[in-house]
């Protein structure tokens, strides 16, 4: 039977879910024949998460959740990659960017947002050190000196509220301690890829105080030649710098953590490659040259951001009072040659590049000259050891942002249109949750949140397109209830099952990119109801951990972005109903002291259900959908954009002791995703074929791990994967980075 999410059929899904859970538990609790029952020394370490804003063992939290630890993050980021490196590393998680290194877009269970506007919202919330990062540019803050990354799948409407109907990706940096310790890491690889990273922390002079400072410097040389102006190694380079300062005070009944962080990025924006997608195929054209473009416009990007936060905890009479205050700011200017080629009538390139000759052009820029985000959370919770645990709180969010959009002539030197957008957002919420241990086996959890949001939006075109326009305004106000109800049953201290009913919403949105259109587009709040059944288990004397779940959801009024067929413009549209279902699992095995394996995978099936929704289609591709009388594509029955059905990841580590204090190791990681479509309509060309990417790390550490020297390789097979496309002017593509190999040295002290 197919599980659809509604209250009438939820009970019918329970026997099927429990049967699947029981089958999946089997290998997690059985030891190999002849294996001694005594616990081995190499048991898996416990994993602590804060998915419900309390520290808990991951096996005790009845939520679909995965954790990426520091070793995995170190391997994935060896080549200086951005948060896109997280794509496929956790079941149901995809990350992509058509904006270069600074604008990641997250997808969980197929739910995401392809909108590239600098004010776009996303249904996956990103939380960095307890502070939500709402603007897409804030989400791109680099990963360094991290304890772990938690991926929470499914609606998180109680604890995280608005804009988390798909899930939450939660980053936790290493916190200060009174022990003096730190590290320094330096690496160098292909294309002049250089990384310098380090941290130092320890006790301060005053009693109870400690601090930690961490930094990251990343660089890559330009490596893409521009055939139009004859410049070698003109594009593809960058300099990315970030710093984090933390101070902590810990007393008998008071705890405080202060955080200051900043980033500065200079480098290339996205690189578009015209006429790169083969007609009648989702493949790159024969003879595609990743090292060369022929662009007559400008390409440059700068992002500067900084923020500060204060987390304060008071302990009184078995109660914990928590205050979390955050301030985030970002400025950005990004200009790109979106057509990727040169205007044929304006001149010839310095050396042959005929495939880049175009009859029209698109040169655009986006700017955030002013941005400010303020968040405040207060909550109170009782003792975590109580049979009835509870917490309740208040939350406030404020954002004030200006966005400027520009178009230029084909050289990128003269502005041809200018648009100003402004938005002020006020959001407030009250929430509470309960967890009751009914008996030794059964636990019941419930949460409820009421959120209210008000947006004041305006946009004005100063000149260009059809002339001055506006200001146009769209003020939106909405309130929603969200929450969850979860029951979990422990068969033993090693195996438990759970069922979770949850809902969430994304607040209303406005889109006003008026450089090539004359009206605003708006979307009301999207809502989701989700039903999930899961199993959590450990076995083989602590050497194996296996977690899995099945889920289904129904989303109403989903906010999606329809890309215009002939211009660099988008419109918000709402899908009447979207259905989704899937299976997810995480497996971790440490069979002995030498080997360690992880395996994760997911099946995600999404379906658009809106018989009347039609969107503009591409004019230079083969469209597979039926067309309405206006020639627009009817998308009923399609899967969501970038919703890969299958995702899998695998890691393996082998180590051999050398002497008394050394170790030789080999670490490899691979991830797979099936084919996906880039747009709401289905077409032959604008899709990405299934792809597998891998990495390798071979090294030696000595002095009990205080020193490490390693060789690394990323994108080992040197795959040329289409990561994004442009539908107008030409079949332009953006492609994945080439293979990067290098050497890395790390010292811990």
Question: What integer best gives the mean pLDDT of the chain?
Answer: 91
Please check whether residue 301 is in contact with residue 331, taking contact to mean a CB–CB distance below 8 angstroms.
no
Q: For the residues 418-442, what does the mean pLDDT come to?
A: 97
Q: pTM (2 decimals)?
A: 0.93
Please check whether residue 188 is in contact with residue 743, taking contact to mean a CB–CB distance below 8 angstroms.
yes
Q: Say yes or no to pLDDT of 565 above 80.
A: no
Q: Tell me the pLDDT tens digit for each residue of 664-682.
A: 999 999 999 999 999 999 9
Q: Tell me the pLDDT tens digit for each residue of 318-360.
A: 999 999 999 999 999 999 999 999 999 988 899 887 889 998 8
**Nearest 5 degrees, angle CA 418-CA 419-CA 423?**
155
Cα–Cα distance for residue pair 21/15, rounded to 1 Å: 10
Q: Tell me the pLDDT tens digit for each residue of 90-127.
A: 999 999 987 878 889 999 999 999 888 888 999 999 99
Percentage, residues of the chain above pLDDT 70: 94
Cα–Cα distance for residue pair 110/639, rounded to 1 Å: 9
Q: For the residues 570-585, what does the mean pLDDT come to?
A: 95
Cα–Cα distance for residue pair 599/602, rounded to 1 Å: 11
Q: Tell me the pLDDT tens digit for each residue of 255-308.
A: 999 999 999 999 999 899 999 999 999 999 999 999 999 999 999 999 999 999
Phi and psi at 114, nearest 5°, equal: -85, 0
Q: Tell me the pLDDT tens digit for each residue of 65-82.
A: 999 988 888 887 777 778
Cα–Cα distance for residue pair 581/603, rounded to 1 Å: 8
Provide the 3-class DSSP secondary structure of residue 83: helix
Q: Tell me the pLDDT tens digit for each residue of 187-235.
A: 999 999 999 999 999 999 889 999 999 999 999 999 999 999 999 999 9
Q: Say yes or no to pLDDT of 402 above 50.
A: yes
Q: What does the DSSP 8-state code read for residue 60?
A: G
What local confidence, expressed as pLDDT, does residue 308 receive?
98
Q: Tell me the pLDDT tens digit for each residue of 533-547.
A: 999 999 999 999 999
Please check whether residue 737 is in contact with residue 695, taking contact to mean a CB–CB distance below 8 angstroms.
no
H helices of 94-164, in order, are 136-139
Q: Tell me the pLDDT tens digit for each residue of 625-639.
A: 999 999 999 999 999
Please check whether residue 153 is in contact with residue 64, taking contact to mean a CB–CB distance below 8 angstroms.
yes
Please check whether residue 155 is in contact with residue 165, taking contact to mean a CB–CB distance below 8 angstroms.
yes
Provide the 3-class DSSP secondary structure of residue 26: helix
What stretches of 383-520 adopt beta strand conformation (E)?
A: 388-408, 415-437, 442-463, 469-490, 495-506, 509-511
Domains of the chain, first to last = 7-31+64-748 (2.40.170.20)
CA distances from 725 to 107, 339, 359, 642 (A): 18, 11, 19, 12
What local confidence, expressed as pLDDT, does residue 41 receive?
55
Cα–Cα distance for residue pair 687/300, rounded to 1 Å: 27
Buried/exposed code over 694-714 (b: 16+ C-beta within 10 A; e: otherwise) = bbbbebebbeeeebbebebbb
**Count of Cβ atoms closer than 10 Å to residue 394 Cβ:** 13
**Nearest 5 degrees, angle CA 393-CA 530-CA 723?**
100
Please check whether residue 405 is in contact with residue 513, taking contact to mean a CB–CB distance below 8 angstroms.
yes
Beta strands 707-714 and 740-748 are: antiparallel
């Amino acid at each position: 039977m197919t599980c659809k999410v509604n209250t009438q059929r939820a009970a019918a899904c329970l026997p099927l879910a429990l049967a699947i859970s029981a089958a999946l538990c089997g290998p997690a609790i059985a030891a190999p024949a002849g294996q001694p029952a005594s616990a081995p020394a190499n048991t898996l370490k416990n994993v602590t998460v804060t998915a419900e804003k309390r520290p808990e063992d991951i096996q005790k939290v009845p939520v679909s959740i995965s954790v990426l630890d520091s070793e995995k993050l170190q391997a994935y980021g060896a080549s200086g990659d951005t948060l896109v490196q997280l794509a496929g590393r956790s079941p149901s998680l995809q990350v992509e960017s058509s904006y270069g290194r600074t604008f990641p877009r997250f997808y969980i269970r197929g739910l995401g947002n392809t909108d590239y506007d600098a004010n776009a919202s996303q249904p996956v919330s990103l939380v960095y050190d307890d502070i939500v990062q709402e603007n897409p540019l804030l989400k791109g803050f680099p990963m360094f000196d991290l304890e772990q990354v938690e991926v929470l799948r499914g609606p998180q409407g109680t604890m995280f509220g608005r804009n988390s109907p798909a899930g939450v990706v939660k980053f936790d940096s290493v916190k200060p301690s009174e022990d003096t310790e730190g590290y320094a890491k330096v690496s160098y690889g292909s294309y002049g890829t250089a990384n310098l990273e380090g941290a130092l922390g320890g006790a301060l002079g005053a009693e109870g105080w400690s601090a930690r400072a961490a930094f990251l410097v990343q660089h890559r040389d330009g490596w893409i030649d521009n055939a139009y102006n004859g410049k070698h190694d003109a594009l593809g380079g960058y300099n990315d710098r970030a710093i984090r300062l933390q101070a902590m005070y810990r007393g008998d009944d008071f705890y405080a953590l202060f955080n200051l962080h900043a980033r500065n990025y200079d480098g290339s924006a996205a690189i578009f490659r015209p006429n790169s997608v083969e007609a009648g195929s989702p493949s790159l054209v024969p003879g595609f040259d990743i090292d060369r473009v022929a662009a007559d416009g400008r390409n440059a990007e700068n992002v500067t951001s900084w923020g500060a936060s204060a987390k304060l905890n008071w302990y009184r009479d078995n109660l914990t009072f928590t205050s979390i205050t955050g301030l985030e700011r970002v400025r950005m200017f990004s200009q790109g040659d979106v057509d990727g080629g040169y205007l044929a009538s304006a001149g010839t390139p310095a050396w042959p590049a005929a495939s880049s000759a175009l009859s029209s052009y698109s040169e655009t820029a986006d700017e955030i000259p002013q941005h400010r985000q303020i968040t405040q959370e207060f909550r109170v919770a009782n003792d975590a050891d109580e049979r009835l645990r509870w917490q309740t709180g208040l939350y406030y969010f404020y954002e004030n942002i200006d966005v400027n959009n520009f178009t230029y002539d084909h050289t990128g030197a003269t502005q041809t249109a200018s648009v100003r957008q402004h938005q002020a957002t006020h959001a407030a919420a009250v929430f509470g949750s309960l967890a009751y241990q009914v008996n030794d086996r059964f636990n019941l959890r419930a949460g409820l949140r009421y959120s209210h949001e008000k947006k004041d939006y305006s946009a004005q075109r100063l000149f260009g397109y059809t002339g001055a326009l506006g200001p146009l305004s769209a003020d939106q106000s909405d309130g929603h209830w969200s929450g969850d109800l979860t029951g979990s049953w422990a068969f033993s201290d090693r195996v438990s099952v759970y069922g979770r009913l949850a809902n969430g919403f994304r607040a209303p949105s406005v889109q006003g990119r008026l450089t090539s259109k004359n009206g605003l587009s708006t979307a009301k709040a999207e809502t989701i109801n989700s039903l999930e059944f899961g199993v959590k288990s450990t076995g083989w004397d602590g050497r194996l951990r296996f977690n899995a779940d099945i889920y289904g959801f129904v989303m109403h009024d989903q906010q999606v972005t329809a890309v215009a067929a002939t211009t660099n413009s988008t419109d918000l549209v709402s899908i009447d109903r979207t259905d989704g279902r899937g299976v997810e699992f995480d497996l971790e095995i440490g069979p002995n002291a030498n080997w360690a394996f992880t395996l994760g995978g997911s099946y995600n099936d999404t379906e658009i259900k809106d018989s009347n929704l039609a969107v503009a289609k591409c004019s230079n591709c083969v469209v597979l959908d039926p067309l309405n009388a206006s020639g627009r594509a009817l998308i009923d029955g399609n899967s969501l954009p970038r919703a890969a059905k299958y995702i899998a990841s695998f890691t393996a580590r082998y180590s051999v002791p050398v002497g008394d204090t050394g170790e030789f190791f080999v670490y490899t990681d691979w991830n797979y995703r099936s084919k996906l479509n880039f747009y709401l309509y289905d077409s032959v060309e604008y899709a990405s074929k299934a792809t597998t990417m891998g990495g390798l790390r071979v090294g030696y550490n000595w002095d009990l791990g205080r020193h490490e020297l390693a060789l690394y390789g990323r994108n080992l097979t040197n795959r040329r994967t289409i990561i994004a496309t442009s539908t107008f002017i030409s079949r332009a593509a953006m492609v994945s980075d080439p293979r990067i190999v290098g050497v890395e040295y790390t010292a811990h002290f």
